[in-house]
Amino acid sequence: MAKQPTKKRAIRRKSSEKFGQKRLEIRNARIKDIRGIADLVRRVYEDMPAYTHGEIRGQINNFSEGCFVALLDDRVVGYCATMQVAEALAFQDHDWDEITGNGYGSRHDPTGDWLYGYEMCVDPKVRGVRIGRRLYEERRALAEDRDLTGIVFAGRMPNYRRSRRKVDGPQDYLEKVVEGKLHDPVLRFQLANGFEPERVMEGYLPEDKASMANAIMMVWRNPYVERDQPVKKRLPRGVEAVRVATCQLQARQVADYDEFMRHVTYFVDVASDYEADFIVFPELFTLMLLSFEEKELSPVEAIERLSEYTPRLRNDISEMAMRYNINIIAGSHPTRMDDGDIHNVAYVCLRDGSVHAQEKIHPTPNERYWWNIKGGDKVEVIQTDCGPIGVQICYDSEFPELSRRLADEGARIIFVPFCTDSRQGYLRVRYCSQARAIENQCFVVLSGNVGNLPNVGNMDIQYAQSCILTPCDFPFARDGIAAEATENVETLTISDINLADLQWARAEGTVRNLADRRFDLYRIEWDEDGKHPGKPRPRREPLGPAHPGGG
Residues 6+ positions from 189 with CB-CB distance below 8 Å: 132
Write the CA distances from 406 to 401, 411, 542, integer angstroms.
9, 5, 28
Instruction: Judge whether 394 counts as a catalytic residue.
Output: yes
Active-site option among 283, 398, 484, 490: 283
Residues 6+ positions from 504 with CB-CB distance below 8 Å: 235, 237, 238, 475
CA distance 529 to 335: 19
Per-position b or e across 21-45, b if 16+ CB within 10 A of its CB: eeebebeebeeebbebbbebbeebb
Single-letter amino acid code for the residue at 279:
I
| Closest CA relative to residue 391, chosen from 439, 338, 317, 445 | 445
Active-site option among 394, 419, 432, 467: 394
| Closest CA relative to residue 179, chosen from 191, 193, 195 | 191
CA distance 314 to 111: 43
Q: Which three-class secondary structure state does DSSP give residue 354?
A: coil
CA distance 366 to 544: 9
CA distance 363 to 307: 17
Instruction: Judge whether 8 counts as a catalytic residue.
Output: no
CA distance 381 to 409: 6
What are the φ/ψ torsions at residue 425 (nearest 5 degrees)? -65, -40
Active-site option among 87, 98, 359, 360: 360
Instruction: Judge whether 283 counts as a catalytic residue.
Output: yes
How many other β-carbons are positioned within 10 Å of the β-carbon of residue 124?
A: 10
CA angle 232, 237, 243 (to 5 degrees): 145
Q: Which three-class secondary structure state does DSSP give residue 121?
A: strand
Residues noted as catalytic: 283, 360, 394
